[in-house]
């Protein structure tokens, strides 16, 4: 994904020289297997029931009614469900679908075409340092995701600096520092104080050290906490003072177990800080993986990364084809 990026000739003192560029073939294969395993609950809820549903070999009103209920219980959402049912009806009429395999293939292709626009690679080559602001509600897996992203970027030859902008939760700062020590990455932190000031200092440090990527953590907050939403908007403005072109990416971390509630989170955070990409975590702990389809229809934002486990390598760039295949296999 980041193969076109070259490591800068100015090396940060904290870079880890032992991390090599990953080999694509085995990595892709093992990731697809982990993705399939991670989506097991959603597949059992959704994909596993399709075979019996399609066994009649025809797309009729009864099948569409049962399929509608199945899609809705998988958190696909009403809008996306109606879209997929319409697509299936049109394909059945056009292609004269008469076998269970053909019907399932038609549905999987309709879902793939719905999700494909969400698959948009994160281009880090436009700025240096490339500043990524990261937000989310409490407990979404934000700080853990930052650690995994740091590891991911390092594996592609990029130096990383972490900004501990969650100054309200001491555990968040300590957690980031642990990730930093584990990955040999510098963490800019303060015992207390203004989160915007911490991130401002981190950007200055990154510029001085020739760092490629800055990952700026922010405190978790609910969209209903209006004063905190105002505060995170202020953090964004301060980042722009440190670098008028930044943040170059604003990632919203979403907990997939929240299902349809994630849609409200996307819309609220987007209004406050102009979300440019999503990180969807904890897909392995829920049967609500269909929420990706709901996002595609109701608040389409690029899904930059998805997480299907606790491991360091269980957060990867989103692939619509791999995601759909893992649901239907």
**In whole angstroms, what is the distance from residue 48 CA to residue 68 CA?**
15
Residue numbers belonging to the annotated binding site:
136-143, 217-221, 281-284
Q: How far is CA 185 from the centre of its chain?
A: 22
CA distance 155 to 91: 42
- CA-based torsion, 15, 141, 26, 325: positive or negative: negative
Cite the annotated binding site for GTP by residue number.
136-143, 217-221, 281-284
CA pair distance 126, 184, nearest whole angstrom = 25
Distance between CA atoms of 50 and 103, rounded to whole angstroms?
A: 10
Strand order in the sheet with 213-216: 186-188, 160-163, 213-216, 130-136, 249-255, 277-281, 303-307, 315-317
CA 259, CA 256: separation in Å to the nearest integer? 6
């Amino acid at each position: 994904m980041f193969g076109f990026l070259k490591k800068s000739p100015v090396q940060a003192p904290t870079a880890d020289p032992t991390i090599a560029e990953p080999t694509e073939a085995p990595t892709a294969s093992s990731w697809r297997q982990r993705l399939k395993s991670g989506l097991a609950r959603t597949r059992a809820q959704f994909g596993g029931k399709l075979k019996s549903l399609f066994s009649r070999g025809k797309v009729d009103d009864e099948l569409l009614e049962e399929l509608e209920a199945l899609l809705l219980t998988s958190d696909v959402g009403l809008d996306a469900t109606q879209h997929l049912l319409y697509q299936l009806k049109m394909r059945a009429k056009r292609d004269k679908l008469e076998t269970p395999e053909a019907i399932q293939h038609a549905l999987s292709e309709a879902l793939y075409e719905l999700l494909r626009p969400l698959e948009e690679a994160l281009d880090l080559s436009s700025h240096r340092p490339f500043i990524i602001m990261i937000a989310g509600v409490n407990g979404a897996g934000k700080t853990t995701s930052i650690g995994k992203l740091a590891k991911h970027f390092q594996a592609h030859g990029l130096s990383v600096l972490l900004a501990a902008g969650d100054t309200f939760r001491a555990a968040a700062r300590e957690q980031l520092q642990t990730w930093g020590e584990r990955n040999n990455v510098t963490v800019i932190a303060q015992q207390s104080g203004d989160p915007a000031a911490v991130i401002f200092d981190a950007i200055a440090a990154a510029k001085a050290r020739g760092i490629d990527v800055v990952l700026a953590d922010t405190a978790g907050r609910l969209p209903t906490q209006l004063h905190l939403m105002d505060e995170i908007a202020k953090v964004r403005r301060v980042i722009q003072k440190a670098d008028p072109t930044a943040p170059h990416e604003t990632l919203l971390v979403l907990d997939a177990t929240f299902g349809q509630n994630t849609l409200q989170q996307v819309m609220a955070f987007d209004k406050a800080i102009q979300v440019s990409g999503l990180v969807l975590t904890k897909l392995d702990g829920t049967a609500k993986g269909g929420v990706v389809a709901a996002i595609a229809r109701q608040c389409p934002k690029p899904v930059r990364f998805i997480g299907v486990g606790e491991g360091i390598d269980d957060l990867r760039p989103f692939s619509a084809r791999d995601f759909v295949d893992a649901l239907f296999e």
